[in-house]
A and B are shown apart, each in its own frame.
Chain A
Amino acid sequence: EVQLLESGGTLVQPGGSLRLSCAASGFTFSSHAMSWVRQAPEKGLEWVTIISARDETTHYADSVKGRFTISRDTSKNTLYLQMNSLRAEDTAVYYCAKHANWAFDFWGQGALVTVSS
């Protein structure tokens, strides 16, 4: 059974940093691209970043480029999102998602990040 379990969400002050983790199980983690997708309160889904399976190429939405970094540790089957220079508009539930068949084919339960003073 595929499982994605995010952790690390919390309240952080504007300008602060935070690292989210996503523990993966039930599939060959190293064989799949992975993304982070966020959802601000009462808003839609926003794709944030992706890391490829083979060469760990990364891509970012313009809204987070230069502030967020995605990475993966295949020895731990864990995906990470390092978030720096956080802003109020980064407040959201952050989902990690597994890619397959050119889609987001499985989602975690999400981690809430609140940026506020």
Chain B
Amino acid sequence: QTVVTQEASFSVSPGGTVTLTCGLSSGSVSTAYCPSWYQQTPGQSPRTLIHSTDTRSSGVPVRFSGSILGNKAALTITGAQADDESVYFCALYMGSGIWVFGGGTKLTVL
């Protein structure tokens, strides 16, 4: 069974840049997996940030960007702000109607 991998935690300084990744336990992530990214703060529903690898959802600040880096999907936050402190999840479309989420990365801004 394929597992979607994410860093458990990451830390960034205010104003800094951080790149979170989303990989596969076996194989490489490509645009064909339609990588998407979600932000979740405690007690809240997830918020969609990025779809189709690199397209920001409506209202998402430009400091959030998506890409493919090497064999993984990536979410980069450029100029991190205090309210970016959240858990970030990626999701991949595995085909045949099946979706899989990564385990999430807890981002600390300090």
Chain A residues close to B by CB (< 8 Å): 35, 37, 44-47, 50, 52, 57-59, 61-62, 95, 100-110
Count A/B pairs, Cβ under 8 Å: 66
Alpha-carbon distance between A95 and B91 when the two chains are bound, in angstroms: 15
Residues 52-110 of B at the A interface (beta carbon under 8 Å): 52, 55, 57, 87, 89, 91, 93, 96-104
B45 touches A108 (CB 8 A): yes
Instruction: Indicate whether A59 sits within 8 Å of B96 (C-beta atoms), given known contacts A102-B52, A109-B45.
Output: yes
Give 5 nearest A-B pairs by CB, closest first.
A59-B97, A103-B51, A103-B36, A102-B34, A47-B99
Alpha-carbon distance between A35 and B48 when the two chains are bound, in angstroms: 14
Residues 1-43 of B at the A interface (beta carbon under 8 Å): 1, 34, 36, 38, 40
Residue of A nearest to B48 (CB): A105
B99 touches A95 (CB 8 A): no
Instruction: Indicate whether A105 sits within 8 Å of B57 (C-beta atoms), given known contacts A46-B101, A50-B99.
Output: yes
Total interface residues in chain B, CB < 8 Å: 26
Tell me which residues across on chain A come within 8 A of B40, comparing CB atoms: 45
Chain A binding surface, main DSSP class: strand
The residue from B52, B96, B99, B101 contacting A101, defined by CB atoms under 8 A apart: B52
Q: How far is the CB of B87 from chain A (nearest CB, A)?
A: 8
Tell me which residues across on chain A come within 8 A of B87, comparing CB atoms: 44
Instruction: Indicate whether A45 sits within 8 Å of B55 (C-beta atoms), given known contacts A35-B99, A104-B91, A108-B45.
Output: no
B45 touches A45 (CB 8 A): no
Q: A57-B97, A103-B57 are in contact. List 5 more A-B contacts (CB 8 A).
A: A45-B46, A101-B55, A104-B38, A104-B48, A104-B91
A50 touches B97 (CB 8 A): yes
